[in-house]
Amino acid sequence: MEKIKILAVVGSLRKESYNRQLALIAKEILGDRVDFTLLEYQDIPLMNQDIEYPAPDAVSRVRKEVKLADGLWFFTPEYNHFFPGVLKNLIDWLSRPISDQEPHVLTGKPAAISGISLGMSGTGIAQDHLVTLISFLNMDVMNVPRLTIPNAMQQLDSNGKLTLKASYPFLEKQANDFLCFITK
């Protein structure tokens, strides 16, 4: 049997992003039980209907990766109580139908959401906005559990790397629950 494919979508383009590090820890937790890949999408242009058809190569590549995935796991920062514009831009591209016959690639796709921030909200407010958007797009959202991690600075080691001491068990639980959610 083929392994379940989880595609991690990180809402930060920053190299040392805490959300990217969180995704990599989730990958470690799931280990060889799944095929876990981080979506790279820096090269996606800003949505502009003048260049929508034919789709730019970067958009076609990303759509293909999403289509092949059994589930999408979002790891999003919070920018001004919202999720970052780069993530909205990506989702806008993915939300467009490929052709008259084929719906957009997010339709019915299982989704989990986690996030870590410097502030107290732990990305919870951004996540609520993201849920509104991806529910509108008919994704199959796992609302419980979601993971919100505040005060990122408290879970770093002396080199500034995320250790996730206190939040690790919650990420472990979310990972296991998402596997069940996908295979339900």
Q: Which residues bind ligand FNR (CB under 6 A)?
A: 12, 14, 17-19, 77-81, 117-119, 121
Q: Which is nearer to ligand FNR, 79 or 170 (CB)?
A: 79
Backbone angles phi, psi at 169, to 5 degrees: -60, -30
Non-local (6+) Cβ contacts of 15 within 8 A are none
Least CB distance to ligand FNR at residue 14 (A) = 4
We find the least distance from the C-beta atom of residue 79 to ligand FNR, in angstroms, to be: 4
Nearer Cβ to ligand FNR (45/119): 119
The minimum distance between CB 11 and ligand FNR, in angstroms, equals 7
Nearest position to ligand FNR, beta carbon: 119
Q: Which is nearer to ligand FNR, 20 or 63 (CB)?
A: 20
Question: Does residue 59 sit in helix, strand or coil?
Answer: helix
The pair of three-digit structure tokens given for residue 100, joined into one six-digit string: 């008259």
For ligand FNR, the closer of residues 11 and 110 by Cβ is: 11
For 94-120, give one letter per residue: b (16+ CB within 10 A) or e.
bbeeeeeeeebbbeebbbbbbbbbeee
How near is the Cβ of 165 to ligand FNR at its closest, in Å? 17
CA distance 39 to 72: 10
d(CA 39, CA 20): 10
Nearer of residues 77 and 110 to ligand FNR, judged by Cβ: 77
Q: Which residue has the tokens 């939300």?
A: 95
Least distance CB 36 / ligand FNR (angstroms): 18
